[in-house]
Amino acid sequence: MSRFLSNRFSSIEPYTPGEQPKVMNLIKLNTNESPFPPSPKVIEALNKEEISKLNLYSDPDTKEVIDAVAAALDVKPKQVLMGNGSDEILAFAFQAFCDSSNQPCFADITYGFYPVFCELFGLKPEIIPLRDDLSLAPEDYFSKNKPIFIANPNAPTGLALSIPQIEEILKSNSNSIVLIDEAYVDFGAESAISLINKYDNLIVSRTFSKSRNLAGARIGFAVANEELIQDMCKMKFSFNPYNLNRLSITAGKESVLDTEYFDYCINEIIKTRDFTVNELEKRGFKIPDSKANFIFPEHEKISGEYYFTELRKRNILVRYFKTEKIKNHVRITIGSKEQMEALIVATDEILKG
């Protein structure tokens, strides 16, 4: 730390992204990326002609991609805001809707970036523990009357709430925003976007990083009523008006238009998730019912750290967490069928000891 850093940030603990190893022969199942490349339509569109326009700023209104997203979701373009990843959308929401008299609340076990945003913006969140089975009980969020952030499906558990459950939370907190982070919703959960015209306190955030094979393009978005979108737009235009670059606007639009490839990839990942869950359960693992592109198994004979370390020795990278409540689990991204077969082979070796 230099002697110049503002005191406000002297104790901040930044988010730790999953390892992005430089060695190539590793099976990388640690950051919930897709094993599939972007849509062929995306690859075709990012051509020399597009690149040669990079001397010009991108469209600050990101109209092309917003129009495509809005049409696909059957909402108005004014109900959509694009972000540089959904992390940026989350930042806009914490900044716009939380302060000393509107402290946010979220689960103890959820996306690790929420507490980091709180530190960055000087907020003191209320932490609401998950139940012992790692489920999120909607009633724990009733009448909080403060901004609520819920990842649905939750990370790293993969468990999802139903729309009626989310609706109860919205109804009992009508004077506060409820942000539903749907980073993983495409892998089998129900989206709350159908509720945005009914509840003026609902914000849904989504990303192209997981289900659209575009983690490196940094594209996310929010869907909400026009007023909430305008508030978050204020944040964007006070911070980084050109938050999406030209290539990402084009990539995002082409990705949304290619519904066939999207459906194919999602189906493959769901099939491979079912295969992996089945194989691991046969070997004694307990796994919460995942609606995401990752699973969160635990085994009574081995700790999360041990399983992680032994997999790492066999060139398979997963994620484990030191937090007491989940220290026996590892989070495994669903990769290709071949990658998951390799995981099972390695797991058999590890269990034999």
Instruction: Report the residue number, 15 or 306, with the smaller CB distance to ligand PLP.
Output: 15
Q: Is 183 in the site for ligand PLP (CB under 6 A)?
A: yes
State in angstroms the smallest separation of the CB of 219 from ligand PLP. Answer: 7
Question: Between the CA of residue 305 and those of 298, 318, 322, 334, 346, what are the distances in Å?
Answer: 11, 10, 8, 19, 15
**What is the smallest separation between the CB atom of 71 and ligand PLP, expressed in angstroms?**
21
Instruction: Assess 270 for contact with ligand PLP (CB under 6 A).
Output: no
Peptide bond into 153 cis (omega under 30): yes
* Of positions 30, 86, 243, 347, contacts ligand PLP by CB under 6 A: 86
Residues 6+ apart with CB under 8 A from 335: 27, 28, 29, 35, 272, 343
The single residue among 35, 38, 104, 220 that binds ligand PLP, judged by CB under 6 A, is 220
Residues linked to residue 332 through DSSP beta bridges, in sequence order: 295
Residue 181 within binding range of ligand PLP, rule CB under 6 A: yes
Residue closer to ligand PLP by CB (options 69, 151) is 151
d(CA 120, CA 123): 8
Among 96, 105, 151, 229, binds ligand PLP (CB under 6 A): 151
Task: Report helix, strand or coil for 256.
Answer: helix
Alpha-carbon distance of 314 to 56, in angstroms, equals 47
Positions in 29-58 near ligand PLP (CB under 6 A): none
Name the token pair of 298.
Answer: 């635990």
| 260 residue type, one letter | E
Residue number with CB closer to ligand PLP (155 or 232): 155
- When binding is defined by CB under 6 A, the residue of 33, 87, 231, 258 that contacts ligand PLP is 87
Residue ranges that bind ligand PLP, judged by CB under 6 A: 85-87, 111, 151, 155, 181, 183, 207, 209, 215, 220
